[in-house]
Structure 1
Amino acid sequence: MADARQILQQYFGYDDFRPGQAELVDTLLAGRDVLGVMPTGAGKSLCYQVPALLLPGVTLVISPLISLMADQVNALRESGVPAAYLNSTLTPAQQSTVLRRAAQGQYRLLYVAPERLDTPAFLALAQRVPIPLVAVDEAHCISQWGQDFRPSYLRIPDFLRQLPARPVLGAFTATAAADVRADIAQLLGLHEPLTLTTGFDRPNLYFEVQHPVNKPAALKKLLEGRRGLSGIVYCATRKSVEEVAALVCGWGFDAACYHAGMDADSRRRSQEDFLFDRRTVMVATNAFGMGIDKSNVAFVIHYNMPKNMESYYQEAGRAGRDGSPADCILLYSPQDVRTGQFFIEHSRDADEALDEETRRTVLERERERLRQMAFYCATTDCLRHFILRYFGEHTQGYCGNCSNCNTQFETVDATIDAQKIVSCVYRLAERRRTVGKALIADILHGARTERILEAGFDTLSTYGIMQEMPVRRIRYLLDRLIGAGYLSVSEGEYPVVTLCPRSDEIIRARGPFIIRVPQDMAPRKAARAEAPSGALMDALKQLRKQIATRGGRPAYTVFTDASLADMCRKLPENREEFLSVSGVGQSKADKYGEAFLACIKEHLSAPAN
């Protein structure tokens, strides 16, 4: 009987498991439940796909992501694994065909949406066929404390109780803090699970935060340095997606756009254009990307700040999934915080699954997540360290692969400026007035706006006392004071700045207020510029494109860029050597080995120029 590593090599083309995968696979095969927390791109899918090929019957994979089902099933079939999915995109006749073939034992994996579990036809199938393993993907969706709670996930335990025999359960998620992990285990009813967090670090990802005065200009500069590379630009709203997509196309880039307000056909065309490399840039809201396993995404740019670190890391993690260097860049502006606050205040209004007390608790957690996301955008510490610390990991505090680690900082004594800012909040409080950060900065700078003049703020003693300092620098100092706990920001849709117990320390200058101010960062080339290139790589990509076009599928499902790069390094001359290439299993060797070996041979025999 084959073992797990043989299956890994035979079907997926890898010689060994990544960290954590083998332990999760072996535990499931031993009949024990697992909870695997692994970052996007770390290989969660293999942790249940490999056991599925060693266990009798059909393994169920419960996922909320329709696009993920189609993508993973196509990739599995390409690797020689019999698999299918069952969701609302199939016609009734197609659904009947899948149910019939599943009953006949033709599949090893069957992907289903949680809404499908309590339908009579599917329940009848589940009670008739052996189900040794149920894998719950995106398991954080069952927790109301998670960033993406979905009430439909609460149906899973009821479904499991109706099965003739309890299967082994595997719960998998990319991002889950300790309270969410506990919630997953309790709500799914995991039996003494092995809980394994492989670590959230993705060393191949470069992180950067910019605070541009002109976002469109900053975005254009970033895209110009990455022309020809595949990437995603995330925007916070549907309107901004359409505006940014129009700009990007106007700059001469092949860009598609995607948001939930588009009709289904338009979304499908945009997604396929991006997956099939007909468009190199996707401009989208967070409605795009869940479950999209496009391996050659070289950059993810956030045009707006997401409302929590979980969402940011999951979206940024769609870059560099094949292990190649990739860039994750966030363009921050204060308006992003206000947009996030608006979404939070209105997101739970229609959530009937939560009682009032729970809704308030969830709301406060979402507000705290937004604060942490804003702190990430403002920190002068290592960005990777900030992310990993947020998820409960300890690091040395210097990664050498983020914008903060690669930026020179000047340490300055900002005590006098800090006193001016806190004094302004104090003078406003004397008049029983509270305002937001933007208005405080305008008052200190001496702006003569209608709102300032009508409210009489131009008569404050602190009006215009920082007129020589750019408003942007005043905002930077104000954010530092809030982050250090010398000022507070209220909750709600329209937050205001208020004094707090530590404000007195600044006013009375009980200690210096020392901050780090970033200097200009050296220009940085796009990460993928370092990826293997040359005549052979170009020839292999062209061959891959021809094969993919004939088969009507994305090129990366034939071989990833990482596999092609490994071919360039190893230069295999026969089938045995071809099987040693990363990502080449027996099924793909049978289908494509002859063509790719011939291409490599032709390259090696060509006369040197």
Structure 2
Amino acid sequence: MLEQAQKALKEYFGHQSFRPNQSELIEHVLKGDDVLAVMPTGAGKSLVYQIPAIISDGLAIVVSPLISLMKDQVSALNQAGVKAAFLNSSISPVEQAEVLEYAASGSCKLLYVAPERLDAPRFLSLCKTARLSLVAIDEAHCVSQWGQDFRPSYLRIASFIEGLPKRPPVCALTATATPEVQKDIARALELRDPFTLVSGFDRANLHFGVERPDPKAKRACLLRLVREHAGQAGIVYCSTRSAVEDVCGLLCENGFAATRYHAGLAASERHANQEDFLFDRKPIMVATNAFGMGIDKSNVSFVIHYNMPSDVESYYQEAGRAGRDGSPADCILIYNKKDVQTCQFLIDKSYEDRGGGFADTGAWSDSAGESALADADGASRAIYDRDCDRLRQMVFYCTSTDCLRSFILRYFGQTDSPYRCENCSNCSTDFEVEDVTVEAQKILSCVLRLAQRDRRAGKALIVDILRGSKAEKIRAQGYDGLTTYGIMGAVPAKRIRYVLDALIAEDYLVQTAGGYPVVEITGKGAAFLKERGSFEIKVPKRLPKEEVFVEPGRRGEARGRSSSADAELFEKLKALRFELASEAGVPAYIVFTNAALLDMCEKMPSNEEELLAVSGVGQVKAERYGRAFLDCIREHAERRSAAPPSTQRV
């Protein structure tokens, strides 16, 4: 069976060998075992069930959360010569009946279905009469209430499988799942002694970066980043609909072909805008997190978060939509402390919607205020506490001076992560270590003095006290009588906050959860003051005014990730791909990925046999598109060889 799997891999998908872990997972599926696979985006999770479905008798059912995901994968499979179809609300009742008849005929190998349709009578009738080769659950973390994308409809899957006349092997796949979520997936789906493989969360082709501009310079920062990726496809994520409208307008006003996506738009407009993005008519998508889960667009070269997400799981999943074909790509987050307040507001609102509540103590005592959590349902409160902790971890990521990749990998339980990846903004920033012991003592003392008065304060109020603010609220509460009042009057507020955040990150201070977070001293912080320890932080050195100019669209090469491929030929192949895709009515990346085009530029195939040696070129696509690409490569080679030596590229 593995030999058949290898043959199918080359014939339909154009790859000579499986990626790490794929063959092991496929072998277990073919043996009839349940499987739980946690693999990063771009690691080839879909092949874990697609290959067994192709070479096995019967029909594979694939439970998928989004219409866009189904359409992308079915389109790609059909282009590769695999018979597949989908069943969801985007097609009419007549079309749904045709799909069910097609699946019942035995011709279809994979049927993608939305979880909401698992209990539809005609679909259940099909599943009870057809021979099912397997059931695959994509984005399996959606079944977990501890996951970041919990969908109640996923809870129907276990009972659906239990009701089948003969239980097929079950394959659950996800890219983002902490150890806690992995256990919840196996329990909720009632997997039977599953073979579990966590392949690691690292994606070496992604460059992670955090930008921390002054709030007034945030829009300018975004424009600079987009200009650096001119001519490339990318996604800009925003936290609210209004931010999407504002950012999309900003990009369009500055000459960028951008479109928008959020839940406030009519379904017809969302569909049209998504099509414009997928077909590269408008290569920049500005969207809320309502867009993107399961989007299989392989040529996304950058993902920019204009607003900070509320947890690392969401961030990594959304950032992971870049570089799906393995090509270098950028994942950049623009951090602003106001985003933290927005995230906390959304967490609080979600808690209230679940039946939790907040009781106002009436003891307003600082610029943020104070509140106490009312007694609430234990599960709801546990979820709330978890969400607040995830938000804190997200803030730590944005403010950390350590390797960003290592931070992400450790978060997901990969403890053997490298100390430095040399492919993130922190690793490429020149930091210097500063002894800030005296400043740390002053900040900790301020928090301690407040506690001695049975008072607590948020970050903003602490900074105001230390800088000696003359505000009425300071005098009204008697904070100007504290011994720490004004002792950092000459220190910029930004500097105080930087040290304060470092103290929180190192557990000398703790910030409480909730809509009105306050700062408290920990046992470690109290011991530091008593024992007069030392405290150091890393701060970025000032960059020289003469920065290296980065050509638009060449950001990756500026970091030393250049390719020896012929850039001119690559652009010709992209143009040809766009033309053929338009004729076929499919997105360009469905024809061939950017990685496949780059491999063509490297290998310069001159016949079909050599073309089949290109990664990503299978038999069906070679027969369908091969001649056009071979002619383009031949004409380019002849033109280059006829050119004077001085004009030839080296």
Q: TM-score range by the shorter chain?
A: over 0.9
Q: Aligned partners of 2:557 and 2:15: how far apart in 1?
A: 23
Quote the residue 1:552 is aligned against.
585
Which residue of 297, 311, 314 corresponds with 1:311? 314
Q: Aligned partners of 1:520 and 1:582: how far apart in 2?
A: 44
Q: Which moves more between the two structures, 263-272 or 166-175?
A: 263-272
Do the aligned partners of residues 533 and 240 (structure 1) sit closer, same or farther apart at CA in structure 2, a change above 3 Å counting? farther
Contact 1:415 1:509 in 2 (8 A): no
Quote the residue 2:19 is aligned against.
18
Q: Are residue 38 (structure 1) and residue 39 (structure 2) matched? A: yes
Q: Which moves more between the two structures, 437-446 or 302-311?
A: 437-446
Q: Aligned partners of 1:102 and 1:552: how far apart in 2?
A: 23
Do the aligned partners of residues 454 and 91 (structure 1) sit closer, same or farther apart at CA in structure 2, a change above 3 Å counting? farther
Quote the residue 2:349 is aligned against.
346
Q: Aligned partners of 1:210 and 1:593: how far apart in 2?
A: 43
Q: Are residue 299 (structure 1) and residue 302 (structure 2) matched? A: yes
TM-score under structure 2 length normalisation: 0.90
Do the aligned partners of residues 596 and 500 (structure 1) sit closer, same or farther apart at CA in structure 2, a change above 3 Å counting? same
Q: 1:545 Cα shift? A: 1.0
In the TM superposition, 1:68-217 aligns within 5 A as 68-213=69-214, 214-217=217-220
Do the aligned partners of residues 283 and 442 (structure 1) sit closer, same or farther apart at CA in structure 2, a change above 3 Å counting? farther
Q: Aligned partners of 2:234 and 2:555: how far apart in 1?
A: 11
Contact 2:446 2:466 in 1 (8 A): yes
Q: 1:445 Cα shift? A: 2.9
Look up the SS of the partner of 1:166 in the other structure.
coil
In the TM superposition, 1:310-329 aligns within 5 A as 310-329=313-332
Q: Aligned partners of 1:93 and 1:350: how far apart in 2?
A: 38
Do the aligned partners of residues 460 and 241 (structure 1) sit closer, same or farther apart at CA in structure 2, a change above 3 Å counting? farther
Quote the residue 2:445 is aligned against.
423
Q: Aligned partners of 2:351 and 2:138: how far apart in 1?
A: 23
Do the aligned partners of residues 325 and 31 (structure 1) sit closer, same or farther apart at CA in structure 2, a change above 3 Å counting? same
Quote the residue 1:364 is aligned against.
385
Do the aligned partners of residues 426 and 351 (structure 1) sit closer, same or farther apart at CA in structure 2, a change above 3 Å counting? closer
Contact 2:355 2:380 in 1 (8 A): no
Look up the SS of the partner of 2:617 in the other structure.
coil
Q: Aligned partners of 2:225 and 2:469: how far apart in 1?
A: 32
Deviations 1:95-151 (A, max 9, x none): 111111111112100000111001111111111111120001111111111111111
Q: 1:448 Cα shift? A: 4.3
Q: 1:47 Cα shift? A: 0.7
Which residue of 604, 620, 642 corresponds with 1:587? 620
Contact 2:64 2:137 in 1 (8 A): yes
Q: Aligned partners of 2:101 and 2:347: how far apart in 1?
A: 44
Do the aligned partners of residues 450 and 69 (structure 1) sit closer, same or farther apart at CA in structure 2, a change above 3 Å counting? farther
Quote the residue 2:247 is aligned against.
244
Contact 1:76 1:83 in 2 (8 A): yes
Q: Aligned partners of 2:470 and 2:599: how far apart in 1?
A: 62
Look up the SS of the partner of 1:60 in the other structure.
strand
Contact 1:326 1:528 in 2 (8 A): no
Q: 1:338 Cα shift? A: 1.6
Deviations 1:156-180 (A, max 9, x none): 1111111110010000000111111
Look up the SS of the partner of 2:464 in the other structure.
helix
Q: Are residue 462 (structure 1) and residue 497 (structure 2) matched? A: no
Q: Are residue 278 (structure 1) and residue 281 (structure 2) matched? A: yes
When the two structures are aligned, how many residues end up with a matched partner? 608
Contact 1:418 1:506 in 2 (8 A): no
The AA in structure 1 aligned to 2:35 is V
For structure 1, list consecutive stretches of 5 or more residues without a partner in the other structure: none
Look up the SS of the partner of 1:61 in the other structure.
strand
Contact 2:566 2:602 in 1 (8 A): no
In the TM superposition, 1:51-70 aligns within 5 A as 51-70=52-71
Quote the residue 2:408 is aligned against.
387
The AA in structure 2 aligned to 1:142 is V
The AA in structure 2 aligned to 1:605 is E
Q: Are residue 602 (structure 1) and residue 616 (structure 2) matched? A: no
Contact 2:355 2:377 in 1 (8 A): no
The percentage of counterpart residues that share the same residue type is 56
Look up the SS of the partner of 2:425 in the other structure.
coil
Look up the SS of the partner of 2:491 in the other structure.
coil
Look up the SS of the partner of 1:328 in the other structure.
strand
Which residue of 422, 443, 446 corresponds with 2:465? 443
In the TM superposition, 1:476-555 aligns within 5 A as 476-508=498-530, 510-520=532-542, 526-527=555-556, 530-531=562-563, 532-555=565-588
Do the aligned partners of residues 86 and 349 (structure 1) sit closer, same or farther apart at CA in structure 2, a change above 3 Å counting? farther
Q: Aligned partners of 1:55 and 1:63: how far apart in 2?
A: 21
For structure 2, list consecutive stretches of 5 or more residues without a partner in the other structure: 357-375, 645-650
Do the aligned partners of residues 128 and 349 (structure 1) sit closer, same or farther apart at CA in structure 2, a change above 3 Å counting? farther
Do the aligned partners of residues 190 and 528 (structure 1) sit closer, same or farther apart at CA in structure 2, a change above 3 Å counting? farther
Deviations 1:30-76 (A, max 9, x none): 11111000011111111100000011111000011111001100111
The AA in structure 2 aligned to 1:356 is D
Q: Aligned partners of 1:534 and 1:491: how far apart in 2?
A: 51
Do the aligned partners of residues 451 and 5 (structure 1) sit closer, same or farther apart at CA in structure 2, a change above 3 Å counting? farther
CA RMSD after TM alignment: 1.9
Quote the residue 1:408 is aligned against.
430
Do the aligned partners of residues 453 and 233 (structure 1) sit closer, same or farther apart at CA in structure 2, a change above 3 Å counting? farther
The AA in structure 1 aligned to 2:6 is R
The AA in structure 2 aligned to 1:178 is P
Q: 1:343 Cα shift? A: 1.5
Deviations 1:271-315 (A, max 9, x none): 111111111211111111111111111111111111111111111
Which residue of 396, 402, 410 corresponds with 1:375? 396
Contact 1:208 1:330 in 2 (8 A): yes
Quote the residue 1:231 is aligned against.
234
The AA in structure 1 aligned to 2:191 is L
Do the aligned partners of residues 604 and 442 (structure 1) sit closer, same or farther apart at CA in structure 2, a change above 3 Å counting? same
Q: Aligned partners of 2:516 and 2:342: how far apart in 1?
A: 10
Contact 1:425 1:499 in 2 (8 A): yes
Q: Aligned partners of 1:467 and 1:352: how far apart in 2?
A: 45
Q: Which moves more between the two structures, 56-65 or 236-245?
A: 236-245
Look up the SS of the partner of 1:265 in the other structure.
helix
Q: Aligned partners of 2:610 and 2:285: how far apart in 1?
A: 37
Q: Aligned partners of 1:596 and 1:493: how far apart in 2?
A: 58
Look up the SS of the partner of 2:132 in the other structure.
coil
Do the aligned partners of residues 562 and 96 (structure 1) sit closer, same or farther apart at CA in structure 2, a change above 3 Å counting? same
Q: Aligned partners of 1:67 and 1:348: how far apart in 2?
A: 29
Q: Are residue 567 (structure 1) and residue 570 (structure 2) matched? A: no
